[in-house]
Amino acid sequence: MLLARPGTARGATTGQGSPWRILVIVATLDGSRSCDGRARWAGTAPHRASATRFDKLAVHNEACIPPRSKSGSTAWNGTYETRPGPARLAHVQSVWTKLSSEVSYATPRITVGRDQVRRPDGSTGPYEWVEAPDQVRVGAIVDDGLLFTSQNHYLVGHTLQLPGGNVESDEDPRVCAQRELHEETGYYGGTWHLRGGLCPLPGLSSMRVYLWSARDLHLGEAHRESAERDLRVVRLSFAEAVRAVQDGRVNCLASTTLVLILARSADDT
């Protein structure tokens, strides 16, 4: 994903005042695309407990990553249309081999473990991992702008990010996204689309963040948790949201990704 001004190439000097354009470059493993031109992602990837398969999905012509159950499977009882990934990608799951596994620390929120693995070069050694709940982020479009939450987090201080939170055990990611948006901002209902997903810490955790957009929402009463008492809802135009990403005010990776996706979509309409 790149930010560039129109009419410039890499290394060229850009003039002042020309608007930024968002260039989203999507690399796919099999080169297939959905019927609206968006690239699909298909393949396999290793999981701590077992090899987790990522199949090609079609959800309102949006690229996405399938949800993961507690057992590590990608079984899904929603309306996603699944297609098997190409067999030629089978080598992806075999380059790492788990020899043994042990849990070092566990709470209701996280699990920390240490595996003995065989690496792609054939050497062996330990590999530490953290299992944490999957999350959601919501790009709520209200009055041609995006809703953000402004609050202080215990570990990183002040954050400006899109609404979202942890997916509860066996909770549908879409239900979670709708719940979190309502709890934090009061907005509910509307039209929802899955915009994809990402793994923010692939070397440490298999945790995923599902990215949603919502529009035509209704305003109700927020129901915030005790840790969210200082939370304020801020609406930014798409241009303001992109500037907030550029200057570092939005310091949440999933929020940054979703802002750029939605800003590009808005620019194309």
Give the tens place of pLDDT for each residue, 246-259: 999 999 999 999 99
Percent of the chain with pLDDT strictly greater than 70: 64
Contacts of 260-267 with C-beta under 8 Å, sequence gap 24+, read: 260/1, 260/22, 260/24, 261/24, 261/139, 261/195, 261/196, 261/211, 262/139, 262/141, 262/146, 262/195, 262/213, 262/238, 263/22, 263/238, 263/239, 264/22, 264/24, 266/144, 266/238, 267/21, 267/22, 267/238
Q: Report pLDDT for 269.
A: 53
| 119 — pLDDT class (breaks 50, 70, 90) | very high
Topology of the domain covering 135-268: Nucleoside Triphosphate Pyrophosphohydrolase (3.90.79)
Q: Report pLDDT for 170.
A: 93
Domain positions in the chain are: 2-91, 95-131, 135-268
Q: Report pLDDT for 141.
A: 98
Rounded to whole angstroms, what are the CA distances from 115 to 71, 73, 92, 126, 152? 17, 20, 19, 6, 35
| 268 — pLDDT class (breaks 50, 70, 90) | low
Q: Report pLDDT for 94.
A: 64
Residue 267: strand, helix, or coil = helix
Specify the higher pLDDT residue, 269 or 92: 269
For residues 131 and 49, what is the distance between their CA atoms, to the nearest angstrom?
Answer: 11
pLDDT tens-digit series, residues 201-224: 999 999 999 999 999 999 999 999
